[in-house]
Amino acid sequence: MKNKILIFNVTIVTLSLLVIFFSGLSVNKKSHREEAEKNIVAVTHIYKENYNDNITKNVPENVRVTVISEDKTVIADSEDQSIVGKPHENREEITAAWEGDPKVVTRKSQTLGKELVYYAEKVETQSGFVIVRTSIPVESVDAYVKNTIPTMIYVLISSLFVSYIASVLAANGIIKPLENVKKKLAAVNDGTYSGDVELSGDKDVDAILSEIDELGGKLKSSIDETNAEKERLDYILGNISDGIIVIDEHGTVGVMNKVARGVFGGDGFIGRNYSVLSADEGLMNAISSAIGNKTASEYEFENDGRIYLTSVNSLENGYTVIVMSDITEMRNGEKMRGEFFANASHELKTPLTAIRGFNDLIAMKTSDEEIKGFTVKTDKELTRILALISDMLDLSKLEANKVSVKEKLDLRAVAKEVESSLAGLAEKKKVTVTVDGQGFVEMEKEHAVELIKNLVENGIRYNNEGGFVKVKISREAGKVRLSVEDNGIGIEDECQPRIFERFYRVNKSRSRETGGTGLGLAIVKHICALYKADIDLKSKYGAGTTITVTVGAA
Ligand code: ADP
């Protein structure tokens, strides 16, 4: 910048001086010519007034006098004797004088090689007239050039010096405030801008500085806000009890809070691919399918004896968020409850079975009809208690939320099995059970049996004599649909939302009478949740009920 200003100024000064020099040269040349043209007339008049035969003798050095006869032959010449006696008629000033209309003519002398002014006039003599012509040189500009050049060089050097100083000062005057602008911009850029504007005194630069000041202020407050937001977020992430990991769309770990770092036992995961987190195949698959297919999933990740319920969610902006909750205590509690429940049930079953044995013994030994009647009632209650214990055990197993073996299961075969296991009940209730269609699912057989059995059993038990229960299996769009339809007593609209609750029974006495525990549909709902199956209820009081379960096909 400085150099450019310097070169510009020096060029301008040099050009100006050259223009001045050449203009002076031209003006000088013109004034010399005008001076000579004025002088030549006066000089000619002097020679004309003093005309005599020796007029061409003793002529001053710069003046040339030529005398030409009437017939335009040179009579005498002060400088060139060789032309005497020769005709000299083709000269413009001579012709003009001869014709009586003298005029000054300027031209370059072929003889002398320099510019001369010529003038001639007639001079009367005794024998007629002669033409006296004089010429003087136009003063050359060499002297001007000679005199001017040193001055010019002197002026040029001093001007260049002055111009250099002026340029440096001017450049500093411009660059210094600009450097201030540069410094401010750099401060805005690296976030250290403090907002103290030091005005330069230059209106234009100050306008830029004010704009920068405003921009810097806005940027600073937005950076401060972002930092405060980040601090808040860091605080929350640092103190939250769940592990949180954020992965970008390329699979790079961007955020990992303290708990998550503790789970994976390390600090150096940020900026690296998620595959360095763990070798657990299930967790890696859940993350890769969230990144690639935008699917959300839940996975129980076990590490160092701890169990983490890990939910992997893909966000719309391409990020994948993993939230890990430590559910070890919960699972241990569930396990202990389950164990306690299983032990208690087992402990209860033994004395209950013994009681049933004694009850049968009493029934066999007694002939008292009233006592026999009591033993029948006792047996019925015992059967109910044992069924209840069995359902509660099933439910507690399901709550442990474990699907250990998934096998390709023929639902039709399972339904047929259930049909024959409930044939006695169906016959007793005079209800026909049919199975139609086919479908394969991935399910534990025990769960499938439990599900179909509970639905078909309800269809039989809450039916009328001569009624039917139709089990239909169909396949559509990757799903298997199992529906259990009956034309039994149906369920009132207001009771329908509650029938999947534990121990909820529309009609307690009927349920008890038919051997219901109030847990059948709760078990069905749990099994459906385990396999992410949809369950749908359609019932009309007095007309019948259809329950449909839709589950993924195998
Ligand atoms: P329960 O052991 O009493 O049958 P469930 O959980 O299986 O318990 O059913 C809850 C209640 O829903 C039953 O008591 C009954 O009143 C009603 N219910 C279930 N299935 C049917 C059905 N197919 N028709 C009519 N009512 C039904």
Cβ-based burial of 502 (10 A; exposed 0-12, middle 13-18, buried ≥19): middle
CB-based contact 484:460 (threshold 8 Å)? no
Which carries the bigger pLDDT value, residue 72 or residue 535?
535
Q: Is the pLDDT of residue 195 over 70?
A: no
Q: Which atom, in ligand 1's list, is nearest to the CA of 544?
A: 24
Q: How far is the CA of 343 from the centre of ligand 1 (A)?
A: 28
Binned at pLDDT 50, 70 and 90, residue 140 comes out as low
Identify the residue whose C-alpha is closest to ligand 1 atom 14: 505
Query: Would the CB of 467 count as within 6 Å of ligand 1?
Result: no
Lowest mean pLDDT among 90-99, 133-142, 298-307, 340-349: 133-142
Q: Which atom, in ligand 1's list, is nearest to the CA of 520?
A: 7
Which one of 455, 458, 463, 471 would you pick to mutate in the ligand 1 pocket, going by the greatest count of ligand atoms within 8 A of its CB?
458
pLDDT per residue over 445-472, tens digit each? 989 999 999 999 999 999 999 999 999 9
Q: Given this model, what pLDDT does residue 405 score?
A: 62
Q: Given this model, what pLDDT does residue 394 score?
A: 82
Q: How far is the CA of 298 from the centre of ligand 1 (A)?
A: 32
Q: How far is the CA of 460 from the centre of ligand 1 (A)?
A: 10
Query: Would the CB of 139 count as within 6 Å of ligand 1?
Result: no
Query: Would the CB of 40 count as within 6 Å of ligand 1?
Result: no
pLDDT per residue over 362-377, tens digit each? 999 999 999 999 999 9
Q: Three-state SS for 225?
A: helix
Q: Given this model, what pLDDT does residue 400 score?
A: 65
Query: Would the CB of 469 count as within 6 Å of ligand 1?
Result: no
Query: Would the CB of 463 count as within 6 Å of ligand 1?
Result: no
Q: How far is the CA of 88 from the centre of ligand 1 (A)?
A: 152
Instruction: For residues 213-240, give the mean pLDDT.
Output: 87
Q: Across the chain, what does the average pLDDT equal?
A: 87
Query: Would the CB of 544 count as within 6 Å of ligand 1?
Result: no
Query: Would the CB of 384 count as within 6 Å of ligand 1?
Result: no
Q: Given this model, what pLDDT does residue 112 score?
A: 67
Q: How far is the CA of 475 from the centre of ligand 1 (A)?
A: 27
Most confident range, picked from 59-63, 290-294, 338-342, 447-451: 447-451
- List strands edge to edge, sheet with 544-552: 432-437, 468-476, 479-486, 544-552, 534-540
Identify the residue whose C-alpha is closest to ligand 1 atom 2: 516
Identify the residue whose C-alpha is closest to ligand 1 atom 4: 516
Query: Would the CB of 516 count as within 6 Å of ligand 1?
Result: yes
Q: Is the pLDDT of residue 176 over 90?
A: no
Binned at pLDDT 50, 70 and 90, residue 404 comes out as low
Spatial distance between the Cα atoms of 158 and 155, rounded to a whole number of angstroms = 5
Query: CB under 8 Å, gap of 24 or more: what pairs does 311-319 form?
Result: 312/286, 312/287, 314/290, 318/248, 318/249, 319/246, 319/247, 319/248, 319/249, 319/254
82, β-bridge pairs? none
Instruction: For residues 20-38, give the mean pLDDT.
Output: 82
Query: Would the CB of 487 count as within 6 Å of ligand 1?
Result: no
pLDDT per residue over 414-444, tens digit each? 999 999 999 999 999 999 999 999 999 999 9
Query: Would the CB of 243 count as within 6 Å of ligand 1?
Result: no
Q: Which atom, in ligand 1's list, is nearest to the CA of 484?
A: 23
- Orientation angle between helical segments 445-461 and 520-530, nearest 10 degrees: 150
Identify the residue whose C-alpha is closest to ligand 1 atom 23: 459
pLDDT per residue over 146-169, tens digit each? 777 788 788 878 878 887 888 778
Q: Where are the alpha helices (DSSP H) in 240-311?
A: 258-264, 281-293
Identify the residue whose C-alpha is closest to ligand 1 atom 18: 458
Q: How far is the CA of 417 from the centre of ligand 1 (A)?
A: 21
- pTM over cut 0.75: no
Q: How far is the CA of 458 from the centre of ligand 1 (A)?
A: 6
315, 320, 325, 328 alpha-carbon torsion, rounded to 10°: 130
Q: Which of 220, 210, 218, 211 is nearest to 187 (CA)?
A: 220
Q: Given this model, what pLDDT does residue 111 score?
A: 64
Q: Is the pLDDT of residue 144 over 70?
A: no
Identify the residue whose C-alpha is closest to ligand 1 atom 12: 499
Query: Would the CB of 66 count as within 6 Å of ligand 1?
Result: no
Which carries the bigger pLDDT value, residue 204 or residue 521?
521
Instruction: For residues 202-227, give the mean pLDDT.
Output: 80
Identify the residue whose C-alpha is closest to ligand 1 atom 8: 518
Identify the residue whose C-alpha is closest to ligand 1 atom 3: 518
Q: Are strands 105-108 and 115-125 parallel, antiparallel or unpaired?
A: antiparallel
Q: How far is the CA of 455 from the centre of ligand 1 (A)?
A: 9
Q: Is the pLDDT of residue 286 over 70?
A: yes
Which one of 507, 511, 536, 540 would you pick to mutate in the ligand 1 pocket, going by the greatest count of ligand atoms within 8 A of its CB?
511
pLDDT per residue over 496-540, tens digit each? 999 999 989 988 777 777 778 899 999 999 999 989 899 999 999
Query: Would the CB of 499 count as within 6 Å of ligand 1?
Result: yes
Q: Is the pLDDT of residue 17 over 80?
A: no
Query: What percent of the chain shows pLDDT beyond 90?
Result: 45
Query: Would the CB of 483 count as within 6 Å of ligand 1?
Result: no
Cα-to-chain-centroid distance, residue 423: 68
* Torsions phi, psi for 63 (to 5 deg): -105, 140
Determine the number of helices (DSSP H) and then strands (DSSP E) in the chain. 13, 17
Q: How far is the CA of 189 from the centre of ligand 1 (A)?
A: 72
Q: Which atom, in ligand 1's list, is nearest to the CA of 519?
A: 6
Q: Is the pLDDT of residue 332 over 80?
A: yes
